[in-house]
Amino acid sequence: MTSTKLYKNNQTVVPSEIRKKFDLKPDDIIEWSINLNGKPELEFRKKSTLKDILGKVTAKEPINSVKLQKKIERGENI
């Protein structure tokens, strides 16, 4: 078992053996949940970029990508 410390601002480090096993890189996402037994569970996934989702959704009308990007940067719902 590997353990880590919880630092100021509630930060911790993902141990190198875990990063290597799951090929984790900067900007990858760790999803935390609590299972039915009350135990924490983690899942790792790659961060989705706009390039990753292009072509996966269709729209009824043309999309202004500049306005869309500005909304994303402001954190607005799209």
pLDDT at 24 over 90: yes
Tell me, what's the pLDDT at 23?
94
pTM of the model: 0.56
What are the domain boundaries of the chain? 8-74
User: Residue 67 has which token pair?
Assistant: 């306005």
What's the whole-number mean pLDDT along residues 34-57? 87
Q: Strand, coil or helix: what is 78?
A: coil
pLDDT at 7 over 80: yes
User: Residue 37 has which token pair?
Assistant: 């037994």
